[in-house]
Structure 1
Amino acid sequence: MKRRNFFKNGIMATVGLSVLGSRPILAKPEQYKGEKAKNIIFLVSDGMSTGTLNMTDILTRQKLGKVSNWISLYESGKVRRSLMDTASANSFVTDSAAAGSSWGCGHRVNNGSLNIGANGENFEPILQKFKSEGKAVGFVTSVQVTHATPASFCVNQSSRNAMPMIAEDYLKLGFDVMMGGGREFFDPAKRPDGKNLFSEFTNRGFQVVNNKEEMLSANRGKPLLGVFTDDGLPYAIDRENDPNLKKSIPSLAEMTKKAIDLLSQNKKGFVMQVEGGKVDWAAHGNDASAILYDQIDFDDAVGVAMDFALKDKNTLIIITSDHGNANPGMFNPGVKNVHFESLFESKASNQWILQQVKTNTSVSQLIELVDHYQNVALEKEEANVLLKNFTINDDGLYNPDKLPMEMFGKILSKHNAVSWAHSNHSADYVELAAYGPGSDAIGGFVKNYELHNFMLEAAGIARDKFAQLQEV
């Protein structure tokens, strides 16, 4: 239960925000080594509405006196900035599988499918294309390695839910770096078929690592599979305030840095995806503490990628989101912004708070719990309503999969000034930033599927690899 202050001890203090400074001077046009990108780093803050980006920058500026890496790139003029649509083949409101597949295969596909066309076509995923060109390829994520967004760059599956099969697909593909959560899809004790995929990856020459120390010690020259938890990784705010989690679970920035170190050994270059997947999960849960600090975690990874690209001058950086989610925003922050500033001292996600509640937790104990970890004093009636909305299983225990997340988020809105439009994806256009060779080709508005051929062209890949049928 002992937890520490995120800002004083978190990754922000050592990795993030140092790259670009607190107030960059307008930069001159960048000079690159060549017209084509040797490397590509594609960074996705999954489910990031514009309000999430805005509030995170306000938080970092006001708490630390530093601008976020993403907004710093806008301030400095280092990147091309655009808007991107997010539709799938069958809906204005996409899911992550269809959104990621638009980049992965260059076509809009139906929600729930991975690089399978609306008429059943199997489109070759982009990391397979780059692998066939001799480049090192991989991804890191804060959710399961088999989840929709990383899988959308890698595999063909009719359903995103086929995660045990996606894990087997990865074994066949033999990509160079894969890191995140999802141990249950590799562990023989948890797979329905009892297969030990960890052993099979080891037999194929992979380094298989299960914690941060092992990851940091991984050697160059061998492919790497890092699976650090069941399910997704912990929220960044919970990891940074729990010494045990911080010791064993890497941040997104730490995974990104290690992946770049390993992949950049390939003389023909590399292509990797970096996903801040827990931003989306926090949005679904209307969890302000979780979403802001996971966005900071993602922003730290942006800093790592940009630091490499600025020195390398041969790397294309793309920073975006696949879709909005829940459309959070700051409203009525209170006198001297005191409501929003309660989040400056938050030490736990809403999910972590609710997981501490037991069937015998009293109203006063819940109030004390929230005040201690989130710097918010709930009213007695609010705490009482929250306790009454827990789902209890037949064994008399609360169901951890049915926590009253949305209700808690709405209750906290009055106290932390973060309000939510919904608890699901939106059809909003999203931010897109690009830096490096090829970035000048980005226009002011981009259709999501256009990024597939854009990346291939930026890297100088032959046009017979391009997606041939372009939608409008």
Structure 2
Amino acid sequence: MAKKILALFLLFGTPFLAPWKGEENHSNSLKKNVIFMVMDGTNADVITLARHYKGAPLALDSILTGGVKTYSSQSAITDSAAAASAMATGHKTLKDYIGMVPYQAADGKNRGRPVANIMEAAKAKGLATGIVATSPVQHATPAAFSSHTMSRHNMHEIGKQQAHQNIDILLGGGKRYSSVNEGRDVQIVRTKSELDKAKGKSLHGYFAEEEMAYDMDRKKLKPEQPSLADMTKKALGMLSSHPKGFFLFIEGSKVDYAGHKNDPVGMISEALAFDAAVEEALAFAKKHPNTLLIAVADHGNSGLTMGNKQTDQTYAETPAEMFVNPLKKASLTVTGAVSLLKKDRSNLEEVLHLYGLDGLEQRKIRKIRESRDIEKELVSLMAERAHLGFTTRGHSGEDVFLYSFGPKKPAGLINNTDLPTKVAAHLELDSLSELTNKLFIPAKDYYEKRGYETENNIKRDSDAVFVAKKGKTVIEYPANENKRKVNGREETLPGIVVFNGDTFWIPK
């Protein structure tokens, strides 16, 4: 008998033996967290240039693990809405669609139907959730992790959905699009000072009517606003106390804004601000071993290159200083500098100095003064001085870097639709497709099969209400909220009501 036991031990190893009580699946008993970070519109040369500008390694460098394909279902070059929807839901989709995939509706038009995202899956499991961004929090990328609409431009609608998604932490710009869920008691802050003092488990902060300032400009022009690193640290501190763990989405939004302007100073400002936020997130992940950190760009922008036609013959003899020294002369981004320009343009040379463009010839200054688009003139001159090239003022289609740290971290060259699968595996979330079937049921079909008469009461899409009537029972579902009324009595739903202009989708 002893020989048989010994033989089994040698064959199967120690796992054959039962673990001690209290030790079984000890690692699984620890709460699990995910920090999902996106630097919007950031290609490889932006990262390289930022590293040269800093003169030291980036926090991102230590967690580089692969690359990500970014194309959408209709184009080799994606927009932010389709890219973010892919990362949030696992579905490729169309331009402007937020958390939706296309289908042909009963009216014959192509419309979007909502699909569940990983933040909703985390919330369904009882985890805390948070969103941090330097754009309006209703902007395309954060919106795809928290709402469902056929157009990224429906920002008031997105804000209303976010208010009813029971998001614990919501920090960024977009005050003008924000909404309030009357049934929730949420602490609201407006400044860095108020953010620093805030305590508790639920916090919404709106630090600008639209987007927040570029980090370089913030220090001089908007010191009352927190940095992305400030917001990241606060969100992590508050979410870390949740007993079941959390899912936190963070976007460094404005590399993309600067890319659309071809402003290399703005791009560096925001790439370094994002890296500082990564440093905060990485420090947290190292202290909390069950935390998965993912950082990635959603797409490239501008086609920025270190090197242009000026360096056709000299690229082999062009040190890093040739690229970064002109940028370091700027104390404000082009947006920040031009915001200080007087209407009569009498202080133009002061503005040029703030953007690092001293010593220009008078003919160039006259040209700038007469220009209809001063920002465009300034960034063109800066690119020339810094030997930088730009191929577009739009997005670009290259693969982007993947950065990750922690258990079950993604690695290698993957698709953006693979990312939510990695998150779900780490957090042990339910299937997103199963959650979609629970959260988004066609209301008309559901109620008419049960003998109700139905109608869509539409003033405008954001105020639309689905109504089902049977006998003396009247049930109303207002769009973009997590509530319904049964004969006037309000009830809370496990998800939000989505209306795509034709069909209402309601949670089960």
Normalising by the residue count of structure 2, what TM-score does the alignment of the two structures yield? 0.74
From the two aligned structures, give the one with the greater strand fraction. Answer: 2
Partner secondary structure for residue 85 of structure 2 = helix
CA distance in 2, matches of 1:353, 1:428: 31
CA distance in 1 between partners of 2:64 and 2:331 (Å): 35
Any idea what the Cα deviations from partners look like across 1:13-59, whole Å, max 9, x if unmatched? xxxxxxxxxxxxxxxxxxx9559980000111100011111100111
Alignment of 1:341-380 (within 5 A): 341-362=325-346, 365-374=347-356, 376-380=358-362
Cα 1:138/1:383, change in 2 over 3 Å: same
Answer whether contact 2:265 2:327 (CA < 8 A) is retained: yes
CA distance 1:367–1:416, change in 2 (3 Å)? farther
Other-structure match for 1:435: 405
- State the distance in 2 between where 1:259 and 1:343 align: 32
**Does 1:422 pair with 2:388?**
no
Gaps of 5+ in 2: 1-25, 104-111, 437-508
Equivalence for 1:453: 421
After superposition, give the CA deviation of every residue in 1:345-377 in whole Å (9 maximum; x if it has no partner).
Answer: 421111122223334225xx5234312442543
- Gapped runs of 5+ residues in structure 1? 1-31, 74-78, 187-196, 391-402
For the pair 1:444 / 2:412, whether they are aligned, the reply is: yes
- Percent identical among aligned pairs is 28
Partner of 1:113: 97
Instruction: Spell out the pairing of 1:306-325 with structure 2 (5 A cutoff).
Output: 306-325=282-301
Judging changes above 3 Å, is the alpha-carbon distance between structure 1 residues 330 and 357 closer, same or farther for their aligned structure 2 residues? same
Task: Report 1:8-407 matches (<5 A).
Answer: 38-61=32-55, 66-71=56-61, 73=62, 79=63, 81-119=65-103, 120-186=112-178, 197=179, 200-201=180-181, 204-221=184-201, 223-242=202-221, 245-246=222-223, 248-331=224-307, 332=311, 337-338=321-322, 340-362=324-346, 365-374=347-356, 376-390=358-372, 403-407=373-377
Runs of 4+ in 1 over 6 A off after TM superposition: 333-336
Separation (CA, whole Å) in 1 of partners of 2:237 and 2:44: 31
Amino acid at match of 1:136: A
> 1:466 Cα deviation (Å)?
6.9
**Alpha-carbon distance in 2 for matches of 1:108, 1:151:** 16
- For 2:354 and 2:431, how far apart are their aligned partners in 1? 58
Matched position secondary structure for 2:300: coil
Structure 1 residues 370 and 407, CA gap change in structure 2 (3 angstroms): closer
Are residues 336 and 94 of structure 1, via their aligned partners in 2, closer, same or farther at CA, if it must alter by over 3 Å? closer
Partner SS state of residue 170, structure 1 = helix
In the alignment, the residues of structure 2 paired with residue 422 and residue 353 of structure 1 have an alpha-carbon distance, to the nearest angstrom, of 23
Indicate conservation of the 8 Å contact 2:37/2:250, yes or no: yes
Q: 2: CA distance between counterparts of 1:284 and 1:84?
A: 21
Q: Distance in 1 between matches of 2:45 and 2:130?
A: 30
For 2:57, give the aligned amino acid: V
Distance 2:45 2:157 in 1: 36
Q: What do you get for the CA RMSD once the two structures are aligned?
A: 2.3
Moved more, 255-264 or 415-424: 415-424
- Does the aligned pair in 2 maintain the 1:348–1:373 contact within 8 Å? yes
Q: 1:373 to 1:427 in 2, by over 3 A?
A: closer
**In the comparison of the two structures, how many residue pairs are matched?**
396
Change (3 A) 1:52 1:34: farther
Show CA shifts across 1:436-464 (max 9, x none): 0111xx34211111111121012222346
Identify which of structures 1 and 2 has the higher relative contact order when contacts are C-alpha pairs closer than 8 Å and 6+ apart: 1
Query: Once the two structures are superposed, what CA deviation does each residue of 1:39-83 show, in whole Å capped at 9, x if it has no partner?
Result: 00011110001111110011111xxxx321112x1xxxxx36111
Secondary structure of 1:121 counterpart: strand
